[in-house]
Structure 1
Amino acid sequence: MMQKWAFGAAAGLVVLTGLTVGYWLLGRDASPEAVAAIQHCSAAPANDRIWVPAGRYQIGATPRYREEAGPQEVETAGFWIDRHEVTNAQFARFVAATGYVTVAEQTPDPADYPEIDPAALVAGSAVFGVSAGEGYWWRFVPGASWRAPQGPGSSIAGRDDYPVVHIAYADAQAYAAWAGGELPNETEWEIAARAGHVGTEFEWGDEFRPDGQWRANSWQGPFPVIDTGDDGFVGLAPIGCFEPNDLGLVDMTGNVWEWTSSPFSADPETGTIRGGSYLCAPNYCARFRPAARQAQERDFSASHIGFRTISRDPAL
């Protein structure tokens, strides 16, 4: 089931289409606003987790999409959760220690995809961008991976404190186990994101920009043509560039989608990602709200999917 649409026109399976424009959204030089914003970002220790106490919590809100649940009370044991999304530096240490190879770096087995031309089955991942004449929001880019987020020729040099991307579910699970933890389920993720805010539209309240302040890395401008970077960033941002929530967690809204351990439905191959990404905007995709959820094939990876981990060991 590996992201079949992503093998491109050769397989005739591209299904995500958009505007045809002559503008690349990735690979642009950082704006002066972004440079200034990065100077205020807070790097964190490699193992920086925050405790969420056991108790009863209210999650959910008035649904905006049919897959969302309304307000409900839930109960949880206490758990530790990463203050920030797992970074390139953290993931690199994991790979160096274990020799792990991500799903995006593996060539698919033709036996698993008999309907696809074997020549089209190459290692790679989905990269967001719109280019003249193509008309696609996403492209499958051979060679794209966490090491080369935009494909061959790109790298993560100088981006140690950026969230790692091009992460499939198995990759996130493997890292979490190595780090002595696991992935949060949807309930745990939303409890942490809300940080005590009951029924609010966003993790910090009901206004997207309280007092005119940007609170998350999101999309500004006409999607998918131009992200103006008014919040200081075009594309990904390093961790900790925006005010933390009331638990001290950063980037629970926007920046990159985060894997949870919860299935989206009865289909075991479809997982759930939460939190939205830098591609979300109030006027386009409002799934960066804490009550929102998104289905995602578990063997899929892309330039806006990452994760964070939890531990249920109170003695950590």
Structure 2
Amino acid sequence: MTDQRPCCVPAGPGSSTGVGAGTADGTPDPGARGADPTPLATIPAGSAALGDHFGDGYAGDGEGPVHEVELTAFRLGTTTVTNRAFAAFVDATGHRTTAETEGYSAVFHTDVAASVADVLGRSPATPWWVGVRGADWRHPEGPRSDIEERAEHPVVHVSHDDALAFARWAGRRLPTEAEWEYAARGGLTARRYPWGDDLMDGERWRVNIFQGSFPGTNTAEDGWTTTAPVTAYEPNGYGLHQMVGNVWEWCSDWFDPAAYGARARHDPRGPASGTVRVMRGGSFLCHDSYCNRYRVAARSAAPPDSSASNLGFRCAADVTSTTVRTTTKETHA
């Protein structure tokens, strides 16, 4: 693909609120007060060729060139942070998310659960996104929705600032973009997805994305119209669930479409500054006719104050014990 299309997450309300903002690189605050119950998988040190091996990406996203990186071992959440885990953080700290502070967030047009008075308007560039008063992590589709039956679903409507605040509290951090892609590949070499190259396992979907005719009709052939439970799909080779689909995941890096051309080989980090933060993995709203970003190489970004009903995160941590170095190798899909 040669064109660039707006991401499936709309821009934030205009300027970062700074709510719960952590350090610039997302490192944990030494005064962390809680714990993320999400298990961490140890991702072995090694090397991998990152980037778009197939020419599938949008030119403006900067998925190339394919380049070799070497990463120190690290740990990564086996799932995204759940509503249950985020609720514990809020109960312990009184944290108010960006969406709660601003009073609204973005909801996909067919999912809105709100009165007409609470529908504030549509995004000009992506009119399927609706600003809904009262939409937040507790009310994913608007004030007439709740998370009572979704404790093990990913928390959504969290900004980059909110994700940093949670990570600091839990003594963790956000993954770098390079860590995220390396882990998402699960030990496979030059594959589109965390499990291989095929979206389907026979007649069964391997990922929670949009089926039907985007943006009007979601046939939900995968069983979900919005988020799925965080362990609803099989993990990749590193034991990580839903590294693509379900919800977009914040990374620590500032976004630069030209970053790969000047990237360090060893433990690369993003630019020192920027206006938008990297998001990875795509979401339940990605569809190959519009947002083919549910691939391990796909990149996107949004302002750090952005929040939406398909935007979440998972935490990372450093390895503190000695780890035997391994090299990324081909494994069975």
- 1:270, distance to aligned residue in structure 2 (A): 0.5
- Contact conserved, 1:183 with 1:308, CA < 8 A, in 2? yes
- Bigger Cα displacement from structure 2, 123-132 vs 293-302: 123-132
Q: Which of the numbers 38, 55, 58 marks the counterpart of 1:65? A: 58
**Partner deviation per Cα, 1:240-289 (whole Å, 9 max, x = no partner):** 11111111110101000000011112662201100000011233311010
- 1:211, distance to aligned residue in structure 2 (A): 3.0
Q: Which of the numbers 198, 206, 211 marks the counterpart of 1:207? A: 198
**Partner deviation per Cα, 1:131-186 (whole Å, 9 max, x = no partner):** 89x88301111111101112222211121000000010000001011111100011
2:99 matches 1:125: no
* In structure 1, C-alpha distance between the alignment counterparts of 2:202 and 2:314, rounded to whole Å: 29
Which consecutive residues of structure 2, in runs of 5 or more, have no partner in the other structure?
1-10, 16-35, 257-270, 323-333
Runs of 4+ with >3 A deviation? none
Q: State the AA in 1 paired with 2:50.
A: I
Correspondences of 1:10-159 after superposition (within 5 Å): 46-62=37-53, 63=55, 64-66=57-59, 67-107=62-102, 123-130=103-110, 136-159=127-150
Q: Which of the numbers 309, 318, 330 marks the counterpart of 1:312? A: 318
User: Size of the alignment, in residue pairs?
Assistant: 262
Q: Secondary structure at the match of 2:213?
A: coil
* In structure 2, C-alpha distance between the alignment counterparts of 1:315 and 1:281, rounded to whole Å: 41
Root-mean-square deviation (CA), in Å? Answer: 2.3
2:13 is aligned to: 3
- Contact conserved, 2:138 with 2:146, CA < 8 A, in 1? yes
- 1:205, distance to aligned residue in structure 2 (A): 1.4
- 1:315, distance to aligned residue in structure 2 (A): 4.5
- 1:84, distance to aligned residue in structure 2 (A): 0.4
- 1:314, distance to aligned residue in structure 2 (A): 2.6
TM-score, structure 2 as length reference? 0.74
**RCO higher in structure (CA 8 A, sep ≥6):** 2
1:42 is aligned to: none
Which consecutive residues of structure 1, in runs of 5 or more, have no partner in the other structure?
6-44, 108-122
Q: Which of the numbers 187, 190, 195 marks the counterpart of 2:178? A: 187
Q: State the AA in 2 paired with 1:269.
A: T
Percent of pairs identical after alignment?
43
**Partner deviation per Cα, 1:89-128 (whole Å, 9 max, x = no partner):** 0000001111111111114xxxxxxxxxxxxxxx111111
- Contact conserved, 1:168 with 1:299, CA < 8 A, in 2? yes
* In structure 2, C-alpha distance between the alignment counterparts of 1:234 and 1:223, rounded to whole Å: 12
